[in-house]
Structure 1
Amino acid sequence: MKTQTVAVVLVNWNGIVDTLRCLTSLQFLDNEKGIEIKIIVVDNASADASASVISAKFPNVELILEKKNLGFAGGSNVGIRAALSQGARYVWLLNNDTVVHRGALSLLRAMSDPSAGVAGSKIYFAAGHEYHRNRYRESERGNVIWYAGGIIDWKNMYASHRGVDEVDHGQFDTSEETQFITGCSMMVKREVFERVGLFDEKFYMYLEDVDFCLRAVEKGYTLLYVPQSIVWHKNAGSSSVGSELHQYYMTRNRLLVGMRYAPVRTKFALAREAIRFMVIGPSIGRKAVMDAVVGKWGKA
């Protein structure tokens, strides 16, 4: 049997503790026969000692050093290009603040479907990193769902995670098609990148995964949620949910996705909402809308 390569791509930015934890978990993966795993870490110009520590502790990991912060989209693209240039059959994108279950490579089984282009894991909040920490018993921590499939509300132009904040009781244990795969844990066939392209770096961070998935669907690929593949996520390691930075990118990038893919009625609604935001919205929201209007993309 010919060996096929799965390239795991992580983007690190001043997150050495999280990245080391993720890399450690990857060492214990149950591998599939005939599969070679290659790990690539793209360092987005970290100011800490990330590069030297990763090289020392994981000498077999390919480390790519960037001179500036390219964001998740740009940093991921650097790793994807490196993976494809080395013949990778599959690319598994992982947030650096994740820990993978040893069976997480079960994503590969979904890829045996010829129509499947992108597959994603069931993702839990890492214990203690839930949105509503006081809501859960101690025994439930680490079993609270962050992502169990992607839902796109086309009327209001919102992308959300199915099952978020729910304690897992097996309610999302069926592998099935979904509307988008989160870039937190996303496996992509080589041919999809070759036909669809890479992440759009206009987004910098947030919703680049939704945009990529929608382009893949336009090319005829299906997106599969694979609950047998389990990952834990600390959530918002680079920009906290609710922060001005998070609000800026979500506001601006939501307009970009909506104007590309939403029905005409929704586009008109988004335009009205943007005008209203410019009048009564917070200053960071007004900046996000204005940047979208004038076409200022990438890093804020």
Structure 2
Amino acid sequence: MSIDETNKKASVIILNWNGKGYIIECIDSVEKLDIINLKLDIVVVDNGSTDGSLSEIKNKILNIKNTDQKFKIIESEKNLGFTGGNNVGIKYALENGADYVMLLNSDTFVDKNLLVQLIEVAKSNPEIGIVGPKIYFAKGHEFQKDIYQPKDLGKVIWYAGGVVDWKNVLQSHRGVDEVDKGQYDKTEVTDFVTGCCMLIKKEILEKIGLLDNKYFLYLEDADFCQRAKQNGYKILYAPKAKLWHLNASSSSVGGNLQDYFITRNRLLFGIKYAGLKTKLALFREGIGLLLKGRPWQKTAVKDFFLGKFGKGSYGSKNN
């Protein structure tokens, strides 16, 4: 594949938080990306890990002999969340001349053509601002492992475009749990690109800013894409770009975290962007959760009305 982006620079931002057991596989795959005429920075932001994964990353990078790629480790003493950690990497990328920034979860491994396929779509139209790939579950990491034939493992879709249900303020992944049979092979506009892997043009970041730290994690990707759309940019799904997701991220730690951040951030997102009827329905739903919800849902609603965002009460009680 040919890509006429000579002297253009891309930065891949890999956010690590206690990623021992999978972060090295991610770096290995990124190291093998086909970059053709691109310059590439690989930036690993460690979000205050405590599991020894930072030492693994340092040892790995010391042993990399590919001088065409520039590796950078940025260490944070504390967990800044998905938004804060990625924003640290984005700032570094922009300060060092990146034309494209690609956010990448640490619990993934990528096809070697991922980056050039994403950029091929991004550069095809100046109105395109953000592009996302087709994402599969890695073998053995499907939500419903026992329903698939062995030949289908590695072909089960995790993301093939993002859908926002504005009536209910819910975000979903198109195609999730489906075996890929070519049903989502069209490059097309989508509602949002998942933060698991998101290619962003420099001018988008310069125009709309960074990820919103109010979210900390969950729905920050939908918010970022919505801001881009409000500024006249298109969000594209690029199915020829592919990666595999272990679904092993550190945010999948249980119901309390999701009860808190999804409840609070859904209110934040909906009140910010939805229509009036939906906003009123969300307000009523929030009052209902405040009265009858689970403990962390109640706390989430309280924090929303009090304007307590970022890590919020969850951070103060789970340090």
What's the TM-score, normalizing by structure 2? 0.91
Q: Which residue of structure 2 lines up, in the alignment, with residue 271 of structure 1?
A: 283
SS at match of 1:80: helix
Tell me the distance in 2 between the aligned counterparts of 1:249 and 1:141: 31
Q: CA deviation at 1:296?
A: 0.9
1:46-104: CA deviation from partner (whole Å, max 9, x where unpaired): 11222232122113520000011001100000000000000000000000001001111
Tell me the distance in 2 between the aligned counterparts of 1:218 and 1:8: 25
SS at match of 1:58: helix
Report whether the alignment pairs 1:68 with 2:68: no
Tell me the distance in 2 between the aligned counterparts of 1:8 and 1:16: 19
Q: Which residue of structure 1 lines up, in the alignment, with residue 66 of structure 2?
A: none
Please point out which of 211, 230, 240 is paired with 1:218: 230
Q: CA deviation at 1:132?
A: 1.2
Larger deviation: 69-78 or 286-295? 286-295
Q: 1:241 to 1:120 in 2, by over 3 A?
A: farther
Aligned-partner residue type, residue 228 of structure 1: K
Tell me the distance in 2 between the aligned counterparts of 1:162 and 1:255: 22
Please point out which of 27, 34, 37 is paired with 1:30: 34
Please point out which of 118, 128, 133 is paired with 1:121: 133
Report whether the alignment pairs 1:111 with 2:115: no
Aligned-partner residue type, residue 84 of structure 2: G
Q: Which residue of structure 2 lines up, in the alignment, with residue 21 of structure 1?
A: 25
Unmatched runs of 5 consecutive residues or more in structure 1:
none
For the aligned residues, what is the CA RMSD?
1.2
Tell me the distance in 1 between the aligned counterparts of 2:56 and 2:254: 31
Would the aligned equivalents of 1:55 and 1:61 in 2 still touch at CA under 8 Å? no
Would the aligned equivalents of 1:142 and 1:232 in 2 still touch at CA under 8 Å? yes
Q: CA deviation at 1:29?
A: 1.5
Please point out which of 64, 67, 88 is paired with 1:78: 88
Tell me the distance in 1 between the aligned counterparts of 2:6 and 2:222: 33
Give aligned pairs, total: 299
Would the aligned equivalents of 1:150 and 1:180 in 2 still touch at CA under 8 Å? yes
Q: CA deviation at 1:16?
A: 2.7
Q: CA deviation at 1:17?
A: 2.3
Runs of 4+ that moved beyond 6 A: none
Larger deviation: 239-248 or 125-134? 239-248
Aligned-partner residue type, residue 101 of structure 1: D
Q: Which residue of structure 1 lines up, in the alignment, with residue 65 of structure 2?
A: none
Tell me the distance in 2 between the aligned counterparts of 1:109 and 1:297: 37
Report whether the alignment pairs 1:57 with 2:60: yes
Q: 1:147 to 1:266 in 2, by over 3 A?
A: same
SS at match of 1:155: coil
1:196-242: CA deviation from partner (whole Å, max 9, x where unpaired): 10000111111100000000000000001000000111125112275
Tell me the distance in 1 between the aligned counterparts of 2:248 and 2:279: 28
SS at match of 2:21: helix
Q: CA deviation at 1:43?
A: 0.3
Unmatched runs of 5 consecutive residues or more in structure 2:
63-69, 315-319
Report whether the alignment pairs 1:192 with 2:204: yes
Aligned-partner residue type, residue 140 of structure 2: G
Aligned-partner residue type, residue 79 of structure 2: N
Tell me the distance in 2 between the aligned counterparts of 1:9 and 1:109: 19
Tell me the distance in 2 between the aligned counterparts of 1:276 and 1:151: 26
Would the aligned equivalents of 1:119 and 1:223 in 2 still touch at CA under 8 Å? yes
Tell me the distance in 2 between the aligned counterparts of 1:142 and 1:155: 33
Larger deviation: 57-66 or 225-234? 57-66
